[in-house]
Amino acid sequence: MIKVLFFGPVAARIGSNQMMVAFRPGIRLQDVRDELAAQYPQAFEIVCFAAANGEHVRDMSLPLTDNSEVAFMAKFSGG
Amino acid sequence: MKESVRIQQEDFSQDEEIRALQASSKRMGGIATFLGCARDFSEGREVSEISFDAYGSMALSELKKLRNDAIEKYSLLDARIVHRIGTVKGGDNIVFIAAGAEHRVAALEACRWMIDELKQRVPIWQKEITPQGEAWVTPHP
């Protein structure tokens, strides 16, 4: 399984901080994003950044391994 | 001694952080600091509280990278970053950054660079709680 985390404004729009997506060989970060964006379009319209296993990811074609932790995040507003 | 990079609910002491920075090297000729505080007014509305959400493990790791990058980029002798999460009220401290270098220019430039980078790189979000309701903050340039 792939653990997907949401925070702040994205979590508020989804109504959840976390969900699981089934792992399949060859699945890429973009596939997870596409799958969830279709279900939660209002949340994903503010998603600007993605992370995999706690690291920023710019290349959405990143292949995921089983038990990966990914996050789709809105613009940050700390500080 | 407290860690030089922290995310915490409780308030921090600027004096304590500066003392810790100063104690790290006697070659330090300049220390620059930035203190970010909660405003009780934003976008024409009264703000009663600000609540923070964070991707805790990633935020801490990004803050540590940010400190290391600043030390390397500006040849700092040391740097400290503390960011609060949880809920704060108007006037409360939010973030403290301190940069120590042999000379003032490096310290001042590094301090400015760290807060600007923090806003771009560190997964923390703030929500303003007003008498009219709550709203997640849209970042300012």
CATH number reported for the structural domain that contains residue B105 in this entry = 3.90.1170.40
What does the pLDDT look like over A28-59, one tens digit per residue?
999 999 999 999 999 999 999 999 999 999 99
The CATH number of A2-73 is which of 3.30.9.10, 3.40.50.2000, 3.10.20.30, 3.10.290.10?
A: 3.10.20.30
Inter-chain CB proximity B122 and A78 less than 8 Å: yes
Give pTM, 2 decimals: 0.94
Q: Does B64 reside within a domain?
A: yes
Interface ipTM > 0.90: yes
Of B95, B123, B136, the CB nearest to A79: B95
Q: What is the pLDDT along chain B (141 residues), one digit of tens a residue?
A: 899 999 999 999 999 999 999 999 999 999 999 999 999 988 888 999 999 999 999 999 999 999 999 999 999 999 999 999 999 999 999 999 999 999 999 999 999 999 999 999 999 999 999 998 999 997 765
Residue B133 contacts A, CB cutoff 8 Å: no
Residue of chain A minimizing CA distance to B35: A79
The number of residues making up chain A comes to 79
Buried-state track A27-65, b at ≥16 Cβ within 10 A, e below 16: bebebbbeebbeebeebbebbebbbbebeebeeeeeebe
B53 CB neighbour count, 10 Å cutoff: 23
Q: Give chain A positions within 8 Å (CB) of B139.
A: 75-77
Q: Does B99 reside within a domain?
A: yes
Inter-chain CB proximity B124 and A71 less than 8 Å: no
